[in-house]
Amino acid sequence: MTEKELQKLMDSMTLEEKVGQLVQCLAGQFISNEMEMTGPEGELLPKEELNRVMGSVLTFEDARQAKALQDQHLAADPKKIPLLLMLDVIHGLRTTYPIPLAMGCSFDEKLMTECADMARKESAACGVHVTFNPMVDTARDARWGRILETCSEDPLINGRMGAALVRATQREDLSNPENIACCVKHYAAYGAGEGGRDYNTVELSERILRETYLPAYKACLDAGARLVMPSFNSLNGIPSVANQWLMNDVLRREWGFEGVVISDYNAVGELVAHGVAENLRDAARMAMEAGCDIDMVMNAYYLHLANLVRDGEVREEAIDRAVMRVLRLKNELGLFENPYHGADEEKEKELYLCPAHREIARRAAEESAVLLKNDGILPLTDGTRKLALIGPFAEERHLVGFWSRPGAWKDAVTLPEGIRQLKPEIEITTARGCGADIGDTDESGIAAAADAARKADTVILALGEPEYDSGEGRSRAELTLPGPQMKLARAVLKANPRTAVVLFNGRPLVLTELAEIAPAILEMWYPGTEAGSAAARLLFGEANPCGKLSVSLARGAGQYPMAYNHPNTGRPKPEPDSQAFPFTSCYLDMTNRPLYSFGYGLSYTEFEYQALETDRDRMTPEETIRVRITVKNTGSRAGKETVQLYMRDRVASVVQPVQQLIDYKKIRLEPGETRTVEFEIREEQLRFWSFDCRHISEAGEFEISTGYADHLKLTKTFRLEK
């Protein structure tokens, strides 16, 4: 349809029909399905009326349901306006790739693109029009369960990975039934909730908001994301969905966003709980005034918007503007001509879990795993004959993460299945040893597990955190391995020191004690469908670990929030940690340093950083500086290495980070191979947000280094001249 035809359609609509376009309902109100919701159900409204006027639904299961929903709506809607069908496809629809936090550890946008492209194809076949993805909330506190859902504590990684996902998901033409629209979330700073508690208050200066939290959303919008979802949290006193500064001043006017804003699940209704709205009618008014176009579930808009217009409290122009945004999105998706879009039961069968998609998921699981420690026990040699798989995750199949689609866990390859497939000759025994639930104290299985360890020549100890303990509404105050897992680990390692630990978890865990006693630790996160295959290939050396931490791993929960790119303070703790002078910014009972820092990860080979050179030692804003970093693979096998470039602005008008990742490149080197990696530093990369919130660079001295955070090397300086 043309813009004129859309306008004509809207002009023909009654006020109730217009409001209906701004209402999103649960698919489960209109079809029976097993979708668990992450919010209150509330009283369900008359579904016949809703079905006639509603503009969109969320959370359906497959192409058949997608078509049924569309058919029953269009049969009832006299204006024949097709539904938008939306779904959380966060890291795969049926073929599940690793959680976003794991993908961040791959430092690989190409891999992200492959995974997102796979998810796009499966989602389109399922009948999805909009995915509530990417989530690019910067997260620096592992107590927050949704840290698993973002890529990093660093906005550069979140922005690059999020933008790659948007481009691969939307591609060039949304009317192509194989393409779907992205909704970037949760705008803004949802990951900065006080105490690491989900949905909690966020108080941030505008400067830090712009420096650390807004860039990744902006990168996704620059990549073309068509929708934005405001976050549940209040931001500096006003919940995002009603925050005029955030939504109108920044998003609409400063960034020029003209797409659709959809609330999070009942976030409009929750303005009453926040205490900024007197009642649901007040909440609807506030959200509409802030430019929230669609009310997700719970129906504040459905119940009150029309009356607010009739009573003159909301201008109909505001409704019309929101409705046009929704109609334009439907039109861009080609739904008026093809309301089913890509829904196709045959394609679902062809694409879901197909070998090509499994291969992508397996490679992603391999490249996002991080080898945290290895005293040489890994990779397991061919000498392994009797292998004991011990621990609560030894035979676990729930390895796909909180935001995988319901039932996707059943497709996952377990650790023993992966090992048997790769090494059929190895005799495998298994022992659970203990549970992994918070508060689980049952140690009765530990003795038998230790005994199984004793009888094996090698042990793989599979530990972690249950899939449902990281994710929405899953904040934790303690971050050690839950249940008696450490007791199990001590007993097994005592019984057989030839033990390698594999971790399956969503949030970063506190591994301080484990790191002291375990000879090797391989962090697999929630690796997705091909979990066991990837883990087996990594453990036996068919694949070489290359992941680098995209988040800091703390020594204790008390260190959070924690980020590698922190300012210095006036009394920095001297490094290495010394107790020489107590009056510094430090803890009495713990170092400031993380257990494993951002950018860290081991390989089965070694990389020597031989030189960092620059083509000049000064630049003007119009110029650039070329940086060349020479790396050699000095080990005995090929491997991938993420060469990281860090910058430090030595003196500026506001405090600066002690280090800031400004670029990175992933390379593959054969044994003995040397490669020089080139970067180009531009003035924009030297900018920061000033005290009065201008995005500027200032003349002065800058340091550049490589290596990884807290372990920088080959440092060089240059000057920016103005």
Q: Which residues make up the interface to ligand GLC (CB under 6 A)? A: 38-39, 58, 88, 132, 185, 264-265, 472
HEC profile of 189-225: CHHHCHHHCCCCCECCCHHHHHHHHHHHHHHHHHCCC
Q: What is the DSSP-derived secondary structure letter of residue 241?
A: G
Nearest distance from C-beta of residue 8 to ligand GLC, angstroms: 33
CB 574 within 8 Å of CB 511: no
- Tell me the three state secondary structure of residue 695: strand
HEC profile of 462-484: EEECCHHHCCCCCCCCCCCCCCC
Nearest distance from C-beta of residue 506 to ligand GLC, angstroms: 15
Nearest distance from C-beta of residue 584 to ligand GLC, angstroms: 40
Structure tokens at 470: 């990281």
Element (H, E) at 372: strand 370-374
Rounded to whole angstroms, the Cα distance separating 709 from 283 reads 44
C-beta of 237 vs 473, nearer to ligand GLC: 473
CA distances 573 to 275, 403, 560, 562, 646, Å, are 41, 39, 17, 15, 21
CB 237 within 8 Å of CB 275: no
194 closest CA partner among 222, 235, 248? 235
Q: What is the DSSP-derived secondary structure letter of residue 381?
A: P
Given the DSSP bridges, would you call strands 181-187 and 130-131 parallel, antiparallel or unpaired?
Answer: parallel
598 closest CA partner among 697, 683, 711, 685? 711
Nearest distance from C-beta of residue 372 to ligand GLC, angstroms: 29
- Tell me the three state secondary structure of residue 84: strand
Rounded to whole angstroms, the Cα distance separating 461 from 521 reads 9
Rounded to whole angstroms, the Cα distance separating 364 from 548 reads 13
Query: 554: exposed, middle or buried (C-beta count within 10 Å: 0-12, 13-18, 19+)?
Result: buried
CA distances 529 to 384, 673, 686, Å, are 26, 34, 41
Nearest distance from C-beta of residue 265 to ligand GLC, angstroms: 4
Active site residues: 264
CA distances 305 to 19, 302, 316, 472, 540, Å, are 7, 6, 10, 29, 61
557 closest CA partner among 473, 479, 470, 469? 479
CB 93 within 8 Å of CB 123: yes
* Rg of the chain (C-alpha set): 26
Alpha carbons within 13 A on the beta-carbon side of 179: 20
Q: What are phi and psi of 607, to 5 degrees?
A: -120, 130
User: Which residue blocks in 344-455 are alpha helix, DSSP H?
Assistant: 345-351, 355-368, 415-422, 446-455
C-beta of 73 vs 186, nearer to ligand GLC: 186
CB 560 within 8 Å of CB 407: no
Q: What is the DSSP-derived secondary structure letter of residue 665?
A: E
Nearest distance from C-beta of residue 24 to ligand GLC, angstroms: 9
Q: What is the DSSP-derived secondary structure letter of residue 375?
A: S
Task: Report the residue number whose CB is nearest to ligand GLC.
Answer: 132
Q: Which residue has the tokens 């306008």?
A: 7
Structure tokens at 110: 């190409």
Structure tokens at 651: 């003196």
Structure tokens at 617: 């030692």
C-alpha 515: how far from its chain's center? 26
